[in-house]
Homo-oligomer: A and B are copies of this chain.
Amino acid sequence: MKEIHVGFLGCGNIGCGVWNLLRDAEERFEQTHGVRFAVRKILVRDVKKERAAQIPREVLTTEAGEVLHDPDIGLVVEFMGGEEPAAHYMMEALRQGKSVVTANKMALSLHWEELMREAKNHHAAIYYEASVCGAIPIISTLNDSLQANRIERMYGIVNGTTNYILSSMSQSGVSYADALKEAQRLGFAEPDPTSDVEGYDAAYKLSILASLAFRCHIPVGSVYREGITRVEASDIAFGQEMGYTLKLLALAKQSAEGIQVRVHPTFIPRLHPLASVSGSFNSVFLSGDACDDMMLYGRGAGSAPTSSAVVSDMLAAARFDSPVYPAVDADRANTAILDNWESAFYIRLSAADRPGVLAHVAACLGERGVSIRYMVQRSETPSARVPIVLITHKAMEKDVRAALDAIAPENALVDNVIRVEE
């Protein structure tokens, strides 16, 4: 029997969820894994706060040092969330030679290299399955199952809030503002939804996933990021007519030219396996040279699913004597992260309802080599401006941007541009 002495940093919903799972599975883990977890200290802000777990008072502390500098604690589990002080606490734990388990995508992605360096320097392990997509075992799949693969592309629905909002908009045709309000009411969106709806949360997660998939560090800052706040019900409706479903995708690709990492609303074919991932579910689709297409789907958030992933990491930490760090290909150090890429584009314009306007728009696109695959113009009620929707063939992002900039505003205004993946 191995007894592992554990310290928690923070004890909100997920911390309490883990406390309860450990208590329920205590005997089983002793029997099946030969491991017993003894939680010795839990750092909290307020020891008197009501919690969703029966935690003895003497375990709680408001002093981080009681967790970080207790030589008796071998495993630190971080539940604080946010960048600081979580990142510095984790680094201190690693420096003390303690293993760290974290569900904190923000601290992990923003301090990836420092955390990995401290871990290696002090021969300590760091586990982070719960930091991306909750219970879905995407981190272990990338680290421990696909080592023989070159991952060519990866598409993730990694943020449940935005997927919930876009699913509502798609199913009932409501506006973004109404869908957000409903998501907030049901607890699927925060009172301040910025991190989710502007794609920051997805960018943190993509930075982690792409760093593992491509075996080189992909900083959060190099992820192109666009949120869902400009999506209108009409965009979703136009897309549906053309056979597309709108998702906030976290997308990573590599090719001879370099690496693309981007988070933005994306039209995907209605029959793509990701199109049916609705509500607050998460999913990652990837394609490797040996494994071919693969998809993982499940709960990306919530106390129980996240706790499930944290406990699997704790068991891994208990099992392995010698830590393994994310593989890094030395020859990837200089791989370019691209700021221009090929994509098809959905473009919605408000055009002046007079002759010559379409010719002007088509000429602006044509001059930059952007060709049109599909166009629909709808003017059911006479008005000065009519909506035109275009889908382009594949073109370079910067050419499309330049073409749209060249459209004279008196002819047409660009209302929205959404990338399309086939």
Contacts and interface: CB of A to CB of B under 8 A. Distances in A.
Counted per complex, copies of this chain come to 2
A13 to B, nearest CB: 13
Contact of A148 (B21, B148, B296): B21
A387 interface: no
A311 B29 contact: no
A33 B327 contact: yes
Contact of A273 (B271, B276, B320, B324): B276
A305 B327 contact: no
A299 B292 contact: yes
A32 B312 contact: no
A213 to B, nearest CB: 13
Nearest to A281: B293
Given A273-B276, A276-B276, A293 B299 contact: yes
A369 interface: no
Contacts of A308: 145-146, 148-149, 288, 290-291
A305 B291 contact: yes
B145 A129 contact: yes
A324 B328 contact: no
A47 interface: no
Given A31-B329, A145-B309, A329-B32, A291 B298 contact: yes
A59 interface: no
A137 B135 contact: no
B304 A294 contact: no
A147 B33 contact: yes
A292 to B, nearest CB: 5
A393 to B, nearest CB: 27
Contacts of A294: 135-136, 296-299
A137 B140 contact: yes
A25 interface: yes
Nearest to A290: B308
A296 B295 contact: yes
A222 B294 CA distance: 31
Given A28-B329, A32-B215, A312-B146, A290 B319 contact: no
A311 B32 contact: no
A315 interface: yes
A144 interface: yes
A194 interface: no
B321 A304 contact: no
Interface string A300-333: 0010110111011001100111101001111000
A141 interface: yes
Contacts of A149: 308
12 contacts: A31-B330, A129-B145, A135-B145, A135-B294, A137-B145, A144-B312, A144-B315, A144-B316, A291-B304, A293-B298, A294-B298, A319-B324
Interface of A: 17, 21, 25, 28-29, 31-33, 129, 134-137, 140-141, 144-149, 215, 271, 273, 276, 281, 288-299, 302, 304-305, 307-309, 311-312, 315-316, 319-322, 324, 327-330
